[in-house]
Chains A and B, each alone.
Chain A
Amino acid sequence: MPNPIVITNNIRKLRFFANEMTQQELAEKAGASRQTIIAIEAGKYSPSLELAFCIADAFGVSITEVFSHEVKE
C-alpha cells in the first residue's frame, strides 16, 4: 500500500497577494461555499480536482502553486 499523502495549500498567502481577497470572494469565484474555503485553508478538507482547478483559476495561477503534496514516510 502506498504511503499516505499530506496535501498542503498556499491559499492564505495567495489571498494576501490578491489584495487580501476575502474567503467569501474566493468562494464566489471558485463556485464553493465560504465554509468549504475555510475548511480547505485550514487543511480540514481536500477538494475535488474540479474545485482545486477553480481555486487556481480564481487566483490566475497553476494548480501546483496553490496545492502541494508531501508523502509521509
Chain B
Amino acid sequence: MSYQEKKTLASITSGALLLAAYCLYAFNPARTPADLKAWATTMLVFIAIGIGATIIIQIVFHILFSIGVAIQQKIQNNDCDDKDIEKNIKLEMVEDERDRMIEMKSNQVGFAVAGFGFVVALLSLVFNYSPVVMLNILFITFSFGSICEGIYQFLLYRRGYSHA
C-alpha cells in the first residue's frame, strides 16, 4: 500500500472517530444539551477536537510511516546509511499530478454529500423540526461527507483513475 493510500486511511479513521464520538454524545439523552447555544458550543468543541485529533493522527502516522520505511530499508540493505533512508522516505512522500487529480475528484464527492446534507437540514426547518435537528443534520452530514471523500479517494487510488 502506498504512502498516499495509508495517509487517506489515517484521515478516514480520524474522521470516523470524530463522527462516532459526536454521535455517542448527541444521541445520549442523559448528556445532551437542551438549548441551541449549548449545542453550538458542543459542536465548536467537537470541531476543535477534530482538528486537534487529525493533526495528532497525521503526525503519528508520519512518524510510524518513516520508521516503517527505515526498517524495511535496513532489512533489504543493512549497509545503507541515514541519508539513503531519508532520501527514500522523501521519495515515498512525493505528491504529483495524479494525487492532485484524485484529491479534486474526491473533493467533489465530499461537497456533494455536504450539499445534500445542507438541503436536508433546510427541509427539516420547512417541516417544523427544531433548529437543533437542523444543526445536527448539518454537522453529521458534513462529517460524513469528509469520510465519503476519504473513501472515494482511497477507491480511486486502488482502482485507478482515467480522464475518460
Seen from chain A, the residues whose Cβ lies within 8 Å of a Cβ on chain B are 4-5, 24, 27-28, 31-36, 39, 42-48, 50-51
Interface centre among B91, B98, B162 (most CB of A within 10 A): B98
Q: In the complex, how many angstroms separate the beta carbon of B116 from the nearest chain A beta carbon? A: 29
Give the residue of B2, B94, B95, B163 whose beta carbon is less than 8 angstroms from that of A46. B163
Report if A35-B161 is in contact (Cβ < 8 Å); known contacts: A24-B91, A45-B98, A47-B97: no
Report if A48-B160 is in contact (Cβ < 8 Å); known contacts: A34-B91, A35-B2, A35-B4: no
Q: Are A44 and B160 in contact (CB under 8 A)?
A: yes
Within 8 A of A (CB), among B98-129: 98-99
How many A-B Cβ pairs are below 8 Å? 50
Q: In the complex, how many angstroms separate the beta carbon of B134 from the nearest chain A beta carbon? A: 41
Please measure, in the bound complex, the distance between the C-alpha atom of A18 and the C-alpha atom of B97, giving whole angstroms. 25
Please measure, in the bound complex, the distance between the C-alpha atom of A39 and the C-alpha atom of B162, giving whole angstroms. 10
> Which 5 pairs show the lowest CB-CB distances between chains A and B?
A44-B160, A33-B94, A36-B98, A35-B2, A32-B96
Q: Given A27-B91, A32-B94, list of 9 further CB < 8 A pairs?
A: A4-B164, A27-B94, A31-B96, A33-B94, A33-B95, A34-B91, A42-B160, A46-B163, A51-B96
Q: In the complex, how many angstroms separate the beta carbon of A46 from the nearest chain B beta carbon? A: 5
User: For the side of the interface on B, what is the size category?
Assistant: 10 to 19
Q: In the complex, how many angstroms separate the beta carbon of B117 from the nearest chain A beta carbon? A: 31
CB neighbours of A27 from chain B (8 A): 91, 94
Please measure, in the bound complex, the distance between the C-alpha atom of A31 and the C-alpha atom of B160, giving whole angstroms. 20
Q: Is residue B37 contacting chain A, with contact meaning CB distance below 8 A?
A: no
CB neighbours of A48 from chain B (8 A): 97
Q: In the complex, how many angstroms separate the beta carbon of A38 from the nearest chain B beta carbon? A: 8
Interface centre among B4, B96, B97 (most CB of A within 10 A): B96
Q: Is residue B83 contacting chain A, with contact meaning CB distance below 8 A?
A: no
CB neighbours of B31 from chain A (8 A): none
Please measure, in the bound complex, the distance between the C-alpha atom of A47 and the C-alpha atom of B96, giving whole angstroms. 11
- Chain B, residues 1-18, CB within 8 Å of chain A (1/0): the string is 011100000000000000
